[in-house]
Chain A
Amino acid sequence: MGEKSTPLLAVLQLLKKYNLKGTEEILRKEANLGDAQFENLDLPEVELASILSAHHKESDPLTYESAYESLKKFVENSLDVYKFELSTLLYPVFVHMYLLLILYDHNDHAEKFFEKFSGEQEDYYQEDLQRLSVVKTKDHIKENEIAEIYSCNKFEVLLSRDTSSQLKRFIHEQKSSPVIINIINNHIQIDVHDGPGRTQAQVKATAGGLLGEAAKNENRAKVYYGLLKEPDIQVLPVPVEDEEEVEETPDKPKKKKAKRDNIFMKKPKSDPNAPSIDRIPIPDLKENDKIEKGKALREASKRVQLGPETLPSICFYTLLNSGHTALCADICDDSTLLAVGFSNSTVKVWTLTTIKLRGMKSIDKLQDIDKEAGDVLVRIMEEKDRDTCRTLHGHSGPVYRVGFDPFKTLLISCSEDATVRLWSLQFWTCLVVYRGHVFSVWDVRWSPHGHYFVSSGNDRTARLWSTDQHQPIRIFAGHMSDVDCVQFHPNSNYVATGSSDRTVRLWDCLTGSQVRLMTGHKKSIITLAFSVCGRWIASGGDGGEILVWDISTGLPTAALPLYHSAPVTTLAFSRDGTILSSGSLDCTIKLWDFGLITDENTSEENTTNGSTATKEEKFLLRSFATKNSPLKNLHFTRRNLLLAVGSYEGSS
């Protein structure tokens, strides 16, 4: 295949595409091409176009280096107003020049070109470059994930109107070397925005995505980030007449709100940003769930108000003898149960209170029970106390995430074996195996209202499920790489995903479409958390960075100072939304002043660089080190006590 030129094969592919058999045959005969060789070249459309449009000049390997250097010079010499925006062009041009060189079989030149310029690319691209550097011949392009992504997709570059006209002028001057023009035409999507050229800090804040920034139209859709109206639950143990709650049947008449004297119902009645209550059908609360909710409200009334002056107490649960086998942990909403997923495919559930874990009675015993009895739910349980820990067997690979449903009756888990499993916390067995993901499932999360859950995995998709269907009801596709983490919005209408392509995306559960694309992370995203009010989302990355995003605009609000030295594995907001806690593999828990972080957003325009820097310093309230126990999970109880879970990895 080496001696057959790529353009020739590209022409063949084009002929085949348009079904021009006669011409194809003649060409084959003339060029002595066999059938087999043709099969090898299965180029993506875009690549094909670029080859055909410019093969006569581009096949000269020596023009690449000088072309790139002239572009670099142009960027460096332009005014500051244009410079930083233009500099975002350098990386995609570099990557595509490298890929083109390889496509034209100039492998040695490609290697030299790579060595010469790869070092000067931005730090956050170095990881990608390392993966790209593996590609050495054109056969590799198809097999390499990242090279494939670059050749099949356009890299997004956002320029101001003036900057783009500067670029146009430069391109006109470069008539002799069409390499850059072709790359920009075929592989780069230039988006023009109306504002003035952005500063270095502004450009850097949103740079870093695998395919550049979010296009300006990407984040236009309206997002209803407000909270749903809370179902009106009497704090009294016996709930009377609360038909007002989440209701999908439209014929139910909306009743007058009962007196809303409870302080926890002080949400403005008509939040313009809240979705209507029936936008997403949410099942009715069961009798038992109502009791549970009532309990939650009673607990919440005893909540400690937190703030920079009053930090939460932290209770740390250490998993002993677990070494590297404990992978994930979750604590149920009322903080009575702890579930841990292990690399040996098991899930263990501990009770954190003195109440032992009980199973249900055997079937023949259940038949004797009076179903009409008021305390039937108590009667069906075994009488004798059971263990403080129970093990669930079923998965056949490491369990990457476990999660309790809001009502403490179900547990969901996902694993490397590509399945999601639903477990009953009454029978202590597996109820459903949800198959659908192709490879490992990295994360699974419950909707805050139960019933729905969302999973994400190595197959670059996130899927929305409802517990009563064995197939996903939505598939969110669009990420360019593994979807590492998911999280439900507090109003259950949206799902956020974080990925190795360094973007956070927000998806609408109703339409299944992507409504926000947030770029700015410099490393893959490991964990996400929505703020209590639903407007902000915090994301933790592989490098220890934490970013806070504003959902209403899709822009990063703040990048917290890089105090974590290892991947941030878990984030949690205090129940009153004033404190953001982060846990990391560097064995520390850090508490951040979330009030200040979001407060800064409003005054950001006025502050100079110097004062924001000092302000950023103030974000961190306190850091607590654990004894060599990397954090697995953080959880605020209803009374705002912080519970943390980590596994002790021995003294060293």
Chain B
Amino acid sequence: MSDSDAVYGSSLTIDSMKVIAESVGIANLGDDAAKELADDITFRLKIIVQDAMKFMQHSKRQKLSITDIDHSLKLKNIECQYGFVQPDSVPFRFASGGGRELHFIEEKEIDLSEILSAPPPKVPLDVSLRAHWLSVDGVQPTVPENPPPLSKEAQKLESVDPITKLSKPANKDSAGKPMCGKAARLKASESVNVKQLATHELSVEQQLYYKEITEASLLDNQSLFLEKYLHELIPSVSTCIVSRQLCMRPEVDNHWALRDFAARLMAQISLQCPSQTNSESGPSMVTSMKESEKTPLASLYGAVQGLAELGPEVVKCQPVSAAGHIVVHSSQPTIVRSQQSVVVTSGPGAQQPQKVVVVGMTPQHQPTTTMGAAPVSVVAKPVFARSSGAPQPPPELDDLSHLA
């Protein structure tokens, strides 16, 4: 038993005893005394913790808490330790120096006057009761109060390795699930051929709009493993961004808003499923950009907007051959291209403020390298001002080297 040592043998060290003795003003604690103390304290601490486990068990918890220790002390007729509160995790800090290693809990100095002057903390919410159906005739309704039928991990496993589903037909949770009532009816209905749905007369814009709404709400579903369905989502979203024509009267209707929305949606998807989206969504927009002379303004606008939303990362992994900047700008919806940048302005919408997107690209001096590694600075304004710089990593807090 390799871990028996760790399980049975852990005890306080003589060094710890000496450090603790020093902290209460006993400078030279003998080795023998320290050993005796360490053994005895280890014994007593372990007994206290073992008793505290009983209180944890009866409190129906699986995590030992400070109150358990208090109750265990009370059992031994020892006054409990006041003033300890329990944060979710106890952050032990580590410091070494002078040949000693030390683990400690950092205690911050608290300004009392600050606490006194601060507004009183919110009163915790009172316990309340709420009822819902966990199961109706042996079938669990899919309501928000119930957990998702399949965990995210299970969905992922299923999508990555569908064989697992076949090899384990009797899922532990649904073992022996009776084929009765609703379940049986559901099963029966599965075998019935589904009639082709009639096509409804909806304008393209309306159809797209509904699609967007459903997709946006799909994104909000915390328990859905979305990556499995990306290949169905991405094309339609991209269509909304770079499609040549999205509505009957592009001069009047505000299809620009749809493009903006779709671009933001794409960015959101890529945030949630970072592994695949960038490589999937980038191409269509970059293609539009590359052939910017040929693409109509609307597509180009969408492409630029999409790239702006996705940020500089996406351009990094896409071959950008267009060197230099393209400028698109106009009071009319036009594109002004230059060697330095592309400026796209949304059309002559009378009421809306003009949207101007400026995309700047650092010129590439090695046209032979297809992988443009140079960062693309994307400036969108005035509506879409966003920083293109990578977020700064938070300052390192755990640096305790100065203590050494």
Contacts and interface: CB of A to CB of B under 8 A. Distances in A.
Interface of A: 114-115, 118-120, 126, 129-131, 133-137, 140, 143-145, 308-322, 324-328, 338, 340, 342-343, 348, 350, 352, 389, 397-398, 400, 416, 439-440, 442, 458, 482, 484, 500, 524, 526, 542, 563, 566-567, 569, 585, 589, 593, 617-618, 620-628, 630, 632, 642, 644
Given A389-B129, A622-B174, 15 more contacts: A114-B8, A126-B7, A136-B39, A144-B47, A309-B178, A311-B178, A317-B131, A318-B130, A340-B127, A342-B127, A398-B58, A439-B75, A440-B58, A542-B57, A566-B62
A526 B60 CA distance: 10
Interface stretch (B136-144, B271-279, B281-289, B310-318): B136-144
A143 B131 CA distance: 48
A317 B135 contact: no
A134 B128 contact: no
13 contacts: A134-B46, A134-B50, A310-B138, A312-B135, A313-B137, A318-B130, A320-B127, A321-B126, A321-B128, A324-B61, A326-B127, A342-B127, A625-B146
Interface centre among B67, B134, B138 (most CB of A within 10 A): B134
A618 B176 contact: yes
Q: Taking each of A140, A350, A625, which has the highest tally of chain B beta carbons within 10 Å of its own beta carbon?
A: A625
A119 B138 CA distance: 44
A416 B71 CA distance: 8
B9 interface: yes
A500 B134 contact: no
A443 to B, nearest CB: 9
A198 B370 CA distance: 77
Contacts of A628: 147
Interface in B59-75: 59-62, 65, 67, 71, 75
A585 B125 contact: no
Given A343-B59, A343-B67, A542-B57, A120 B135 contact: no
Contacts of B67: 343, 398
A593 to B, nearest CB: 8
Given A309-B180, A313-B135, A316-B134, A134 B54 contact: no
B59 A625 contact: no
Given A311-B137, A397-B71, A623-B173, A321 B9 contact: no
Nearest to B128: A320
Nearest to A325: B127
A321 B178 CA distance: 35
A134 B71 contact: no
Contacts of A133: 7-9
A115 B10 CA distance: 12
* Of listed B9, B57, B146, residue having the most chain A CB within 10 A: B57
Contact of B175 (A136, A439, A440, A617): A617
A316 B57 contact: no
Residue from B62, B125, B176 having most chain A Cβ neighbours under 10 A: B176
B54 A458 contact: yes
Nearest to A591: B138
Interface residues of B, number: 53
Given A134-B43, A542-B57, A321 B125 contact: yes
Contact of A318 (B9, B132, B176): B132
B177 interface: yes
A321 B132 contact: no
A310 B131 contact: no
A308 B58 CA distance: 32
Given A320-B128, A416-B71, A626-B146, A315 B134 contact: yes
B187 to A, nearest CB: 14
B145 interface: yes
Given A321-B125, A343-B59, A400-B58, A316 B178 contact: no
A624 B135 contact: yes
Given A400-B58, A416-B71, A137 B39 contact: yes
Given A316-B133, A326-B127, A338-B129, A626 B59 contact: no
Contacts of A313: 133, 135-138
B60 A327 contact: yes
A134 B132 CA distance: 48
Q: Which 8 A-B pairs have the closest CB atoms?
A: A119-B1, A311-B138, A316-B134, A133-B8, A314-B134, A314-B135, A321-B125, A134-B46
B62 A484 contact: no
B46 to A, nearest CB: 5
Contacts of A327: 58-60
A482 B54 contact: yes
A70 to B, nearest CB: 21
Interface string B39-58: 10011001100100011011
Contacts of B181: 310
B175 A316 contact: no
B172 interface: yes
A569 B60 CA distance: 7
A500 B178 CA distance: 37
Nearest to A646: B134
Contacts of A317: 129-131
Given A316-B132, A316-B134, A644-B134, A625 B173 contact: yes
Nearest to B136: A313
B4 interface: yes
Contact of B127 (A321, A440, A524, A585): A321
